[in-house]
Structure 1
Amino acid sequence: MTVPSAKRTALEKKRAEERATHLAEVAKLSSRVRELEETNTALGKAIGLLHAMSEEEPAATPAPPDQSNS
C-alpha cells in the first residue's frame, strides 16, 4: 500500500507541528523547573540564616509571675 504524496506531506507537516509544540512545552517546563529550583535554593538559604540568627540570640528569660493579685 502506498500513501499518496499529498497525504504524506500533510502527515509530515502535522508531525512537525506537533513536534514544535512539544519542544516549546518542554522548554517552558524546563524554565519553570529552573525557576522553582532557584526559589528552593533561596528558601534554603533563608532558613539557614534564620537558624543561625536564632542560635546567636540568648534564650528568652521567662517573665516573673504576676504578683499583683496575691
Structure 2
Amino acid sequence: MTIPSEKRTALAKLRAAEREAQAAEVARLSGRVRELEEANTALGKAIGLLHAMSEEEPAATPTTPDPSSS
C-alpha cells in the first residue's frame, strides 16, 4: 500500500509540530524544575541559619512557681 505524497507531507508537518510542542513543554518544565530546586536550596539555607541562630541563644531560664500561691 502506497501513501500519497500529500498525505506523507501532511503527516510529516503534523509530527514536526508535535515535536516542536513537546520540546517547548520540556523546556518550560525544565525551567520550572530549576526554579523549584533553587527555592528548595534557599529554604534549606534559611532553615540551617535558623537552627544555627537558635543554638547560639542561651537556654531559657526555668521559672519556679511562687511558693505563696500554694
* Fold shared per TM-score above 0.5: yes
Map of 1:32 onto structure 2: 32
Distance of 1:35 and 1:68 partners within structure 2: 60
Instruction: Considering fraction of residues, name the structure with more helix.
Output: 2
Distance of 1:51 and 1:7 partners within structure 2: 65
Segments of structure 2 that go 5 or more residues without pairing to the other structure are: none
% of aligned pairs identical?
77
Question: C-alpha root-mean-square deviation of aligned residues, in Å?
Answer: 1.1
Distance of 2:45 and 2:63 partners within structure 1: 33
Work out the number of aligned pairs and report it: 70
Segments of structure 1 that go 5 or more residues without pairing to the other structure are: none
Name the SS of the counterpart of 2:21 in structure 1: helix
Task: Quote how far apart the aligned CAs of 1:55 are.
Answer: 1.0
